[in-house]
Structure 1
């Protein structure tokens, strides 16, 4: 049976581009610094631009996806939060290095910073994998009463998709900021196991009623 690609599936489809391009750019910079070969520096500059632009697009798609999937358990919800915050830091680092590299030659410092950001990306990617393969976030075949799954967003190529992408991406930013504020103030600590390093005991518990959505989403809204 033919099934159209849904909007929330855009993020896992495009995220591989920055995951491949950004480490390639950082390694090319390191080669340029250690060998003095300016050709490597020229290639790296172009790859930094391509990797960062693809990262911006993947980030927007990810923010939108965070509002288009069912995430009712505290552990899955906070794992999604850490995934988003970590990727935001990676993207900010990539933007900074790319801005520097557009005007200057690579240095050992920028190469190390780039590789460090890529190391963080490996961790956030592992969280993304746990969200899908361990908890079932975003999986269409999940039972309707499961705490994780998908909200069946609009088809990717539909007329509604562009508006939904922008709307849900902005809502995703609002949610990330709201959740970060709760953590910083101690209002609601991180759920056990959300960091992906241990199992959480509350993976199947629904959110409290007061955290239920009011706009058709099951992600907590700010």
Structure 2
């Protein structure tokens, strides 16, 4: 995989979210209770979790003085034992179309915050205090890999653009190999596959702090 030092942008994040929503709209309306890939959540819960991730990243950048010692203190709670602990939950009566509207709206919030936040701003994340570019990259990774989980559960094809994967790998996964295809490499780096004879990772993290 060629070195990619291009900045991750709000446009990249918007592209990831729009591609994910377009793919998920192809799912059968009765398929959303299936498990999402190797996750313990069903597909509906996984979209709620992804939406919540995007919302939470936008919230971190929102205050004039972003928090550096923790997350903005929304209430995150599960709707069932073992379910994802979210601040964002979609109205089930709105059906899959409403669920995907929630995802698109939360993605748009993060896109907007990345666009308007100064690049020197930093905010807390458990994997390293990050800048707007970092939060955009995190949002893209969440979107790409959880759409992979969802595509497995919903029986859909999903392969995001290689350039997009390469940019977030460069920004967040400095130890990932650079001579392999970007999408399989991102799946490997997030514990979702093997790569060139490498075993599947049993633990993983990204590095959110800005790269020097």
Q: TM-score, normalised by structure 2?
A: 0.31
TM-score (norm: length of structure 1): 0.30
Structure showing the higher helix proportion among its residues: 1
Please identify the structure whose Cα radius of gyration is greater.
Answer: 1
